[in-house]
Chain A
Amino acid sequence: MPRVALTGTASYLGGRILRRLVDARGADAVVAVDIAPPPVALQGVRHWMVDLTLPGADRRLVDVFEEEQVDTVVHAAFFTDPRRDAAYSHELESIGTLHLTAAAAAAGVRHLLVRSFTAVYGARGKNPNFLTEEHPPERNSRLAWVRDKVEAEDHAFSFSRRYTTLGVSVLRFATLFGAGVHTFYTRIFSKRVVPVLLGYDPLVQLLHPEDALDAIDAVLAHGPCGTVNIVPRDTMTLLTALHLSDKLTVPVPHLLAYPGADFWWGTGVGEAPGGFVDYVRYLFVADGEKARRELGFEARHTSRDALMAFLEYRYPETAARSRDAREVEA
Chain B
Amino acid sequence: MKETAKVVPIRGRTKRRRRPPIEDEGRLRERLAELEREVASGRQAREREGLLLTLARLVDAGARGVSWASLARLQRALYFAWHSEEVDDFGSDRRFAEALEPLLEFLYAVWWRVETSGIEHVPAEGRGLIVANHSGVLPYDGIMVQLAIRHEHPARRVCRMLALDMFALLPGLAPMLAKSGSVRANPANAERLLRREELVGVFPEGVKGVGKRFKDRYRLARFGRGGFVRIALRTGSPIIPCAVVGAEEIHPVVAKADWVGRPFGLPYFPITPTFPLLGPLGVIPLPTKWSIDFGDPLDLSEHGPEAAKDPILVNRLSQQVRETIQGMVDGRVARRRSIWFG
8 Å CB contact of A199 from B48, B69, B165, B172: B172
8 Å CB contact of A239 from B71, B72, B79: B79
8 Å CB contact of B80 from A235, A243, A254: A243
Q: In the bound complex, do residue A199 and residue B171 qualify as a contact, i.e. CB atoms below 8 Å apart?
A: yes
B145 to chain A, nearest CB (A): 21
The stretch among B116-124, B186-194, B249-257, B289-297 that forms the contact with chain A is B186-194
Q: In the bound complex, do residue A324 and residue B169 qualify as a contact, i.e. CB atoms below 8 Å apart?
A: no
Q: In the bound complex, do residue B192 and residue A304 qualify as a contact, i.e. CB atoms below 8 Å apart?
A: no
Q: In the bound complex, do residue B76 and residue A243 qualify as a contact, i.e. CB atoms below 8 Å apart?
A: yes
A117 to chain B, nearest CB (A): 20
Query: Does A126 sit at the interface, judged by CB under 8 A?
Result: yes
Query: Does A236 sit at the interface, judged by CB under 8 A?
Result: yes
Query: Does A158 sit at the interface, judged by CB under 8 A?
Result: no
The stretch among B20-28, B87-95, B102-110, B220-228 that forms the contact with chain A is B87-95
8 Å CB contact of B48 from A130, A237, A328: A328
Question: Given that A199-B175, A249-B75 are contacting pairs, would A235 and B87 also be in contact in the complex, using a CB cutoff of 8 Å?
Answer: yes
CB neighbours (8 Å) of B90 from chain A are: 129
Q: In the bound complex, do residue A125 and residue B83 qualify as a contact, i.e. CB atoms below 8 Å apart?
A: no
Q: In the bound complex, do residue A246 and residue B73 qualify as a contact, i.e. CB atoms below 8 Å apart?
A: yes
Within 8 A of B (CB), among A275-330: 282-283, 285, 304, 321, 324-329
A240 to B96, CA, bound (A): 12
The stretch among A50-58, A88-96, A159-167, A190-198 that forms the contact with chain B is A190-198
Dominant SS among interface residues on chain B:
helix
A299 to chain B, nearest CB (A): 13
B137 to chain A, nearest CB (A): 19
Question: Given that A240-B83, A246-B72 are contacting pairs, would A129 and B184 also be in contact in the complex, using a CB cutoff of 8 Å?
Answer: yes
Chain B 177-203 per-residue mask, 1 if CB under 8 angstroms from chain A, else 0: 011000110101100100000000000
Query: Does A259 sit at the interface, judged by CB under 8 A?
Result: no
Q: In the bound complex, do residue B186 and residue A198 qualify as a contact, i.e. CB atoms below 8 Å apart?
A: no
Q: In the bound complex, do residue B192 and residue A199 qualify as a contact, i.e. CB atoms below 8 Å apart?
A: no
CB neighbours (8 Å) of B83 from chain A are: 237, 239-240
Within 8 A of B (CB), among A215-257: 234-237, 239-240, 243-244, 246-249, 253-254
8 Å CB contact of A129 from B76, B172, B175, B183: B183
Nearest CB to that of A241 among chain B residues? B85
Within 8 A of A (CB), among B291-333: none
Query: Does B43 sit at the interface, judged by CB under 8 A?
Result: yes
Q: In the bound complex, do residue A325 and residue B47 qualify as a contact, i.e. CB atoms below 8 Å apart?
A: yes
Q: In the bound complex, do residue B171 and residue A198 qualify as a contact, i.e. CB atoms below 8 Å apart?
A: yes
8 Å CB contact of B188 from A128, A237, A283, A304: A128
Nearest CB to that of B264 among chain A residues? A255
A243 to chain B, nearest CB (A): 4
Chain A 184-211 per-residue mask, 1 if CB under 8 angstroms from chain B, else 0: 0000000011000111110100000000
Q: In the bound complex, do residue A254 and residue B171 qualify as a contact, i.e. CB atoms below 8 Å apart?
A: yes
Question: Given that A243-B80, A325-B47 are contacting pairs, would A236 and B86 also be in contact in the complex, using a CB cutoff of 8 Å?
Answer: yes
Q: In the bound complex, do residue B89 and residue A235 qualify as a contact, i.e. CB atoms below 8 Å apart?
A: yes
4 additional A-B pairs beyond A130-B192, A248-B71, beta carbons within 8 Å, are A125-B165, A239-B83, A304-B86, A324-B48
